[in-house]
Chain A
Amino acid sequence: MKMNNRLILATITVAASALLVSTVPANAAGVDIRVGTIQPMTGAGFADYGTGLANAASFGVASVTAAMTAAGVSGSCKMIAQEDSVSDAPSVVKEAATKLAKSDKVNFIIGSLTSGASLEVGSVTAASTGVIAIASAASSPALTTFKDNDTLFRTYPSDLLQAQALVKAISKAYGNSSWVTVGAINNSFGTGLAKAFKAAWIKNGGHIGGTVLWNAGAASYDSEAAALVKTKRDAFVFVDYPDSFAKMAPALVRTKKWNASTTFMTEAFNDDSAIKTVGASLMNGIRGTSAKTNGTDTAGWKAAFKTAFPKNPGTFVDGSGFDAAVLACLAGISAGGTSARSLAKGLRNVGGVNGGTAYSWNQLTAAVKDVAAGKPITFNGVWGYTKFDKAGDPMGGAFEVWSVKDGVILHDSKTDVQF
């Protein structure tokens, strides 16, 4: 009888333990996730984008923290430091990434904005054992092939997809076999997209009339403009930023051989501030493609973000910073540890690679509960690209075709391209 009592007691204990384990989140011990950002918050050209992405990342971390409290999940997700890359200068970015990884001991670095700077961050995380980078707006194909030991992710579609979108837009306007001259700024973003476009255009049956690259801080752009207009072409594709194209555009006009309406550009110009920088008259007639948000309830999020950060400058890509931060925090909860390998696995587990219930930005409490219970989820972000492939790139993307008329950017949803 005594034996039976002990057996009953042991059985009850085991059963109670099992019950307890099944109702408490899988990582009940709690993991403290440390997040840092690197964005160009000052300096020429990118300050509005960088400030918006940094603010959005802070908002993302705060949102998950609130959800963790509401869900009763232990552990934490904290924004440790926000570094300014000052126009994404490579040396500044590398120094900031090293500081975040080694001194601040963060688990995730959100940023930076440009492809070249993001590769600098990737070179630091690749050499680390416990830090993951999530680039917010980098689009260069170079990030796909970069040897990063699965530590470099991004929430922005690759330019391999944007090149396809450009091909479709130009084919529709000028035909498959037309001649295109490509001009690009001489950095990893410009050369990467130019190369991807040329390969896709030739594969599509088109011809390339010439390629001209230019340096961002060149003393003059007249010889570059002259080289561009002497090529055989039906259309131009320019891959550039507003600050440098503001110097190139007058040089092109002065040649008297450039017609803006034959020019296609990319997302950096799909913004009112870009038109202001370059000049509405110089941009009149220019068309382009741009990655488009694929997110859920973006209008509601924008309102909530505006309330939280009333002075935020606001650009089309702010949501990408929010998504990156939310994914980072959720991945930490999912991983239950802080090794780079487990965090990378966690990112895929909450981004939808393994399926699971779909949650949007305003359902984070339920999302946190599921993740803490060890379940895979699909976080449908604000920007929207959260399902990562083996290279850390988003699987798929949506692009819109825009045009400028009398200083106003026009969009036609019928011409959207989905991959």
Chain B
Amino acid sequence: MAEFVQLLFNGLVEGSIFGIAALGISLVYSVLHLVNFAAGDFLTLGAFAAFFFVTSLHMPFIVAVVLSMILGVVVSLILEFLLWQKLRKSGAGMLALFLVATGVAFILRQTISLVFGSNSRKFDLDQLTTYEFLGAQIAKTQLIVLCCASVAITAIALYIKKSTTGKNMRAYADNSSLAAVSGINVDRVILATWSISGAFGALAGVFQGTVQGQFTNGMGLDLLLSILAAVVLGTIGDAYGALIGGFVLGVVMELSTWDALFGGIPSTYKPVVAFAVLVIVLLFKPEGIFGVKARKI
């Protein structure tokens, strides 16, 4: 029982990080039909920015997290004005957008290396304090991340569902032409999409750095495949699905090592299990776990 609780909790923590990062990718895809391969490096940007604000500018950690999210928004918007907007106007296809996104990822990663150097970094947080729950050891940092992630997920879900901008985003994702002629401010929808993507990408990076205690400039790239798997699992283009896909993926990866499940698999194969689950789900439900063909956001 203790092992199950431990693995379930670990999976929920990791899943919440996957989900938050996947949300941005899914939103961008639903509105702009762009698979943002640079999203992983926004995680790295967020973690390194928070580290800089805390260690160099001596800011409280919570302020540093907010500022790193703002930086994520600013970088996203700069890219929108300098790059994505022009590419949309020139009618660039999916392949061109994919290649540009990959290029942006490289540029972001190398810029982070140039600015912050290549050494690993860590937040000065207590990684070792744990609380016992049903025999499992729940780390303080994990608990904080899970609580904060839950708040962030609830907030963004409500924002998309209730706010005018959120409703406009859903309308634009469903039918962009109809949304445009019905008076929806398309530019505002696009800017909101990039802002959410940048902010949540950076937040996911800070959470990952907080949970692991140590991060390098390759952190986002290491997680990108798992995040993309969460996006596809929860139906690509479905923001709620991406969040749930992240949780499912995190929990499945951790529980796959549980002894009670046929002895458990070696932990090095956790990513393999995640992708095996993805393939199996897509075989039976090509739209993803929660998707229906017409549903967007």
Q: A223-B7, A226-B6, A255-B137 are in contact. Are A246 and B270 (CB under 8 A)?
A: no
Taking CB atoms and an 8 Å cut-off, the chain B residues in 109-134 that contact chain A are: 113, 118-120, 122, 127-128, 130
Secondary structure class of chain B's binding surface, majority of residues: helix
B213 engages A246 (CB within 8 Å): yes
Q: A219-B226, A243-B216 are in contact. Are A254 and B130 (CB under 8 A)?
A: yes
Give CA–CA (A40, B216) in the complex, Å. 15
Q: A43-B118, A44-B218 are in contact. Are A222 and B6 (CB under 8 A)?
A: yes
Q: A213-B268, A227-B267 are in contact. Are A44 and B217 (CB under 8 A)?
A: yes
Give CA–CA (A253, B208) in the complex, Å. 18
Taking CB atoms and an 8 Å cut-off, the chain A residues in 248-283 that contact chain B are: 250, 253-256, 277
Give CA–CA (A277, B120) in the complex, Å. 7
A-B contact count (CB 8 A): 97
Q: Please, which residues of chain A bring their CB within 8 A of the CB of B211?
A: 220
Interface residues on A, range: 20 to 34
A223 engages B120 (CB within 8 Å): no
CB of A197 within 8 A of chain B? no
A254 engages B128 (CB within 8 Å): yes
B120 engages A43 (CB within 8 Å): no
Q: Which residue of A lies closest to B117 (CB)?
A: A47
Q: Which residue of B lies closest to A87 (CB)?
A: B218
Q: A246-B120, A256-B137 are in contact. Are A218 and B3 (CB under 8 A)?
A: no
Q: Please, which residues of chain A bring their CB within 8 A of the CB of B17?
A: 219
B143 CB → nearest A CB, Å: 12
Q: A213-B266, A215-B271, A219-B223 are in contact. Are A247 and B130 (CB under 8 A)?
A: no
Give CA–CA (A242, B211) in the complex, Å. 17
Taking CB atoms and an 8 Å cut-off, the chain A residues in 213-251 that contact chain B are: 213-224, 226-227, 242-243, 246-247, 250
CB of A42 within 8 A of chain B? yes
- The interface bits of chain A over 183-213 (1 if a CB of B lies within 8 angstroms of the residue's CB, else 0) are 0001000000000000000000000000011
- Picked from A219, A224, A227, A250, the residue with its CB within 8 Å of the CB of B213 is A250
CB of B14 within 8 A of chain A? yes
Give CA–CA (A337, B253) in the complex, Å. 56
- Picked from B7, B217, B221, B268, the residue with its CB within 8 Å of the CB of A215 is B268
What 6 A-B pairs have minimum CB-CB distances, sorted nearest first? A217-B222, A44-B216, A250-B127, A246-B214, A223-B257, A222-B10
